[in-house]
Chain A
Amino acid sequence: MIINSKNMTHRMLNEKIRSGVRNGDRKIILKNINGQRYIASGLKSEVNIKINGTAGNDLGSFMSGPKITVYGNAQDCIANTMNAGKIVIHGSVGDVLGYGMRGGKVFVRDDAGYRVGIHMKSYKEMIPIIVIGGSVGDFFAEYMAGGIIILLGLDDTKEIVGDFIGTGMHGGTVYIRGNINKNRLGREVDSVEFDDNDKKIVNEYLTEFCRDFNLNQKNLVNQKFTKFKALNSRPYGTIYAY
């Protein structure tokens, strides 16, 4: 199904998408998307959605299952509390990417704003994955409780990451390509050894990332990554008098 989204409100658009899904459409193409919010919010389906244009805030919030590809940029709060599925963005995204995300994957070809992966969490086999090709702003992986974030910083002319990495982090894993100066880190994180198992994990998602964006993975093989973990899984464990 192809939906020409020109002048369509988010409500009309989502109604069309949902009725398509109900009718058994497995491929939906959205044309002329121009900042409409909440696309596929709460959608539970295996549908494949291709978006042409700039996707608005809260793309894929709460969703469970859809695979969304954005040919363009996306705005703030993408993949908010996302449960399962995949979002692939051929461009950059705004702030607060993947807030409270519990499962699925988000791949961003270019840059992301502040507070990427904030309070992302994992549960059993549900491990959310975010891979970012470009660079990110401050408070990267803030409050992170689970899942994996990989930051590639492929554009060497840009600063790869802002300040306060992992502030309040208490779970999950962050991999950043290259060396990161310690003064960039929040108080609750530190770098730990990047071992063979980590290499396997990073390579697995890199392969998928490069395939999705048609990049040559060869340039990335054997690059050095720094791995970050929370120092304490219970940052508030000792502040109370019982």
Chain B
Amino acid sequence: MKTLTFPDFVINRDNEKCIQCEVCVRQCAFDAHTLDKETNKVETDIKKCVGCLRCATMCPTGALCVSEYSQKIRKNCNWNEKQLKELYKQAETGGVLLTGMGTDKDYKIIWDHILLDAAQVTNPSIDPLREPMELRTYLGSKPSKIDFRFDISDLKLKNLQKGILKTKLPPQLKIETPILFSAMSYGAISLNVCRALAQAAEECGIYYNTGEGGLHKDLYKYSKNTIVQVASGRFGVNPDYFEAAAAVEIKIGQGAKPGIGGHLPGEKVTEEISQTRMIPSGTDALSPAPHHDIYSIEDLSQLIYSLKEATEYKKPISVKVAAVHNIAAIASGIVRAGADIVAIDGIRGGTGAAPTRIRDNVGIPIELAIASVDSRLREEGIRNRASIIAAGGFRNSGDVVKAITLGADAVYIGTAALVAMGCHLCQKCYTGKCNWGIATQDPYLVKRLNPDIAARRLINLIKAWSHEIKEIMGGMGINAIESLRGNRLRLRGFDLHDNELKILDIKPAGESL
């Protein structure tokens, strides 16, 4: 069938600059550049271009320029080019549309309508370069009160530090900065990317998350900085997997595809992935939409306690859900079910593959979810029982600070981490042909990403963000992240509706205390 679709991009090759070196031919896994054997010239097929900019970045002479394809068709706000192309594709294949990464729809980004406070005159700001700033965070359930015991013979003021904690604290994850790497499974991303994330997590004193694809044997050595996932497919889940982790996360859902499962097609289940997932190579790795042992909060509690028993109550158990309409009630149920951490992924969360319609239409923004969950847990007097990790499209340290000020304990970053390693957000992760060597298992593409260099880039990113967070806190006159958490008086809404302000529980900009 002749395709009616038209290209997404145009590639301009400046023939004066091009030296016919064929770098672009080798770099493009989508075959947008090819060598014409007859004329011995590099040719371009723009229909194949996915806009990942690999060729333009690698071209030694800067001869390539990729830009959006625009054939001035009759302007139509309802039926734009994207809609037409999707319709053509479905008419030609009869298939469900797939995509990768987080939604690109222009939903309002509430972060950009929340403004932070700073200290002026009445309270001093703090210079983070000269004064200690505490970003360290403990994730896990906190008791509602703690008891101390003092050595009575020693009870002078200066010896108060000899107080001994009598309360037995539930297990905690210590993070040096309130940022963790989101769940990304080996299979969705390459082993080199997993290595980079693990190395960076170790160096930064934070955690990375294996996702639901099991744990490769090369990564066992990072166990102190590893969160492992248990999802409905239960891939690679066994006692060794738990032993090799600092915490276990039950994955109920993710922001990019709430309510549906996932599957790694057989072509991507290579020998090594098969070992890690513990399924035969070449078979589809199906993660059903629900966990077959969870149909209620009581059932969730059963899985939480099953995992607590299996890890001898030594590791925090997290439950990850997508931010959906009743997220506050759901989170309350999760906390009451015994979770130590609730991870909430908003509508802008990324993915290796998701049906386009689900990714673009299901869920709610993380900003509103954090606020409503934090408020609800406080109202119910159970906020201390679990930490909240927010996820779903955190772009910079400003977003992170705002999330924590709304009430999150820490954030998960996925997309930002991939971008730091080279991702250009072409959204073709589901094809397995990622030219940046990230979302692929093709050995030729995988080796494009050097795990040590990628780890260095991640470490730089975390360092830079942490420094910025300290700077912002210093400006607010706050020297510990604990004093920022849930401190919504330090936020103002700008250009937000009343109902949004109400849910966020913040005042509009211009309104004083």
Contact = CB atoms under 8 A, between A and B. Distances in A.
Contacts of A18: 312
B224 to A, nearest CB: 20
Contacts of B242: 42, 62
Interface string A195-207: 0000000000000
A110 interface: no
B310 interface: yes
Residue in A64, A76, A100, A233 with the greatest tally of chain B CB atoms within 10 Å: A100
B313 interface: yes
B66 interface: no
Interface stretch (B171-179, B190-198, B282-290): B282-290
B234 A241 contact: no
A67 interface: no
Given A42-B242, A241-B90, A123 B309 contact: no
Contact of A234 (B284, B309, B310): B284
A18 to B, nearest CB: 7
A44 interface: yes
Interface in A135-180: 142-143, 145-146, 168, 170-171
A14 B307 CA distance: 13
A81 B284 CA distance: 18
A53 B375 CA distance: 45
Given A119-B292, A240-B95, A241-B93, A233 B238 contact: no
Contacts of A239: 95-96
Interface string B283-324: 110101000110000000010011101111100000000000
B280 A102 contact: no
A37 B237 contact: no
Nearest to B431: A242
B151 to A, nearest CB: 30
A41 B307 CA distance: 8
Most chain A Cβ neighbours within 10 Å, of B92, B284, B307, B431: B284
A14 B265 CA distance: 39
Nearest to A15: B312
A214 to B, nearest CB: 32
A contact patch SS: loop
B89 interface: yes
A96 interface: yes
Nearest to B94: A241
B274 interface: yes
Contact of B283 (A14, A62, A171): A171
Nearest to A83: B238
Contacts of B263: 236
Contact of A123 (B96, B280, B292, B431): B280
Contact of A38 (B234, B278, B288, B306): B306
B391 to A, nearest CB: 25
Contacts, number: 135
A62 B237 CA distance: 7
Contacts of B279: 121-123, 145-146
Contacts of A102: 234, 238, 278
B211 interface: no
A77 interface: yes
Contacts of B238: 62, 64, 81, 83, 102
Given A100-B234, A241-B89, A62 B284 contact: no
B292 A145 contact: no
A100 B232 CA distance: 8
Interface string A48-63: 0000000001100111
B155 interface: no
Nearest to B310: A42
B284 A237 contact: yes
Contacts of A234: 265-266, 283-284
B309 A146 contact: no
Interface residues of A, number: 50
A29 interface: no
A105 interface: no
A198 B313 CA distance: 44
Contact of B306 (A80, A119, A126): A80
A236 B92 CA distance: 19
Contacts of B280: 122-124, 146, 171
Residue from B238, B265, B279, B305 with most neighbouring chain A CB atoms (10 Å): B238
A229 interface: no
A81 B94 CA distance: 36
A63 B239 contact: yes
Contacts of A123: 274, 278-280
Contacts of B302: 37, 57-58, 77
Interface in A106-129: 115, 118-119, 121-124, 126
B97 interface: yes
A240 B278 contact: no
Contacts of A76: 293
A10 B233 contact: no
Contacts of B96: 239-241
A117 to B, nearest CB: 11
B288 A143 contact: yes
B309 to A, nearest CB: 4
A236 B312 CA distance: 38
B110 interface: no
A62 B230 CA distance: 11
A170 B292 contact: no
A54 B257 CA distance: 40
25 contacts: A11-B313, A18-B312, A37-B302, A38-B309, A42-B306, A44-B240, A62-B239, A62-B306, A64-B240, A77-B293, A80-B306, A81-B230, A81-B234, A81-B238, A99-B293, A119-B232, A121-B279, A126-B278, A145-B283, A168-B288, A170-B283, A239-B96, A240-B96, A240-B98, A242-B431
Given A62-B237, A119-B232, A119-B288, 10 more contacts: A18-B312, A38-B306, A41-B310, A62-B238, A76-B293, A99-B293, A100-B237, A236-B263, A236-B286, A238-B95
6 tightest Cβ-Cβ pairs between the two chains A and B: A42-B310, A241-B95, A100-B234, A41-B309, A241-B93, A83-B238
Interface of A: 10-11, 14, 18, 37-38, 41-44, 57-58, 61-64, 76-77, 80-81, 83, 96, 99-100, 102, 115, 118-119, 121-124, 126, 142-143, 145-146, 168, 170-171, 233-242
